Amino acid sequence: MARFLAGRLLMGLLAILATTVAVTLLIHLVPGDPVQIMYAQSQGTTPEQLAEMRHMLGLDRPILEQWLRFVLHLLHGDLGVTIRGQQPVAQLILQRLPNTLALAAASMAIATAIGLPVGFAAAWWRGRWADTALMTVAIAGVSVPHFWLGLILMSVFAVQLEWLPVGGTGWAGLVLPAATLGLSNAAIVARMTRSAMIEVMSQDFVRTAYAKGLLRALVLRRHVLRAGLVPVVTMMAMQFAYMMGGAIVVENIFAWNGIGRLAIEAIFQRDYPVIQGFILVFATTVITVSILLDLLYAVLDPRIRVRG
């Protein structure tokens, strides 16, 4: 197990290192000179000032040196400063990361609470009218854009009923954006759960369990769920990681101060240090979730541990 864990951690570190190379190159690959953008609104900027700023950002150094400096600074928790406003990027991301984590966790909780039972029920009543009805709702849920759903929820629960605030931070402000994201993801979880359960229900070991005379509820709980939820948990974990960056639209609608909003603002403003920081945090989250998933598989299925 220790060897397996060490292997996964090493792979994770290499992936993060590769991400640092990518974000170092990013600044040179995308169109538009960051220094020129920084001074675009300045009157009478001299070439000396532009050169000085390039030097300050380290853009005049060889790419290898730029990468080494980036990694070195990263090890000290330094992601540079924003092009506009000169604020520390790490501080900005850390300030917003809890909000994004809270939104992702709350929406995942909603998605799980709705999606799992619905998917399971649809599998249980496979082919009957209940299955058709539940899956029709799920397809509709997947198809509805976050933007539209968010505005509808806001209109009903904030403007008409006045039960919840239209946006902002704090517990009450979390409900609507979490519900918007959670309901869409619940539909995905439900569909995934249904397919996984149906597949497992047709396996030999389930038939054997029935043949042994076990009660249907016990078979489902002990055998079907245990095997069927592995792919569902995988998908949910990846959805969680995706929500770290994919909640941009919802964060914008509800003025939720997360890193997705920070990223979109930075992309529009070509604020490269912020974009670099966001990519790094996003990649690290996805990699960390992948490692945790690998470990979870290893716990659930010893064959994976042996192969790893």
DSSP 123-135: HHTTTSHHHHHHH
How many CB atoms are closer than 10 A to CB 178? 24
Looking up tokens 């599998």, which residue turns up?
Answer: 123
Site string for another protein, 216-255 (x = CB under 8 A): -----x---xx--x---x------------------xxxx
> What distance in Å separates the CA atoms of residue 157 and residue 152, rounded to the nearest whole number?
8
Q: Pick one of 7, 77, 145, 168: the residue that binds another protein (CB under 8 A).
A: 168
Which residues inside 106-135 make contact with another protein, applying CB under 8 A?
106, 108-109, 112-113, 116
- As measured in angstroms, the least distance from the Cβ of 292 to another protein is 11
**Residues 6 or more apart whose Cβ sits within 8 Å of residue 287:** 12, 15, 16
Site string for another protein, 19-58 (x = CB under 8 A): -------------xx--xx-xxxxxx-------x------
- As measured in angstroms, the least distance from the Cβ of 150 to another protein is 8
- Specify the 3-state DSSP secondary structure of 297: helix
For another protein, the closer CB: 62 or 86: 86
Which residues inside 174-213 make contact with another protein, applying CB under 8 A?
174
- As measured in angstroms, the least distance from the Cβ of 205 to another protein is 15
φ, ψ of residue 81 to 5 degrees: the values are -120, 160
User: How many degrees, rounded to 5, is the angle at CA 114 between CA 110 and CA 115?
Assistant: 105
What residues are paired with 176 via a beta bridge?
A: none
For another protein, the closer CB: 70 or 254: 254
Compute how many residues bind another protein; rule: CB under 8 A.
63
84 is a contact residue toward another protein (CB under 8 A)? yes
Q: How far out from the chain centre does Cα 214 lie?
A: 40
162 is a contact residue toward another protein (CB under 8 A)? yes
**Residues 6 or more apart whose Cβ sits within 8 Å of residue 295:** 5, 8
- Whose CA is closest to 85, among 227, 274, 219, 287? 274
Q: Report the interface residues with another protein, using CB under 8 A.
A: 32-33, 36-37, 39-44, 52, 84-87, 92, 95-96, 98-99, 101-102, 105-106, 108-109, 112-113, 116, 151, 154-155, 158-159, 162, 165-174, 221, 225-226, 229, 233, 252-255, 257, 261-262, 265, 268-270, 296, 300
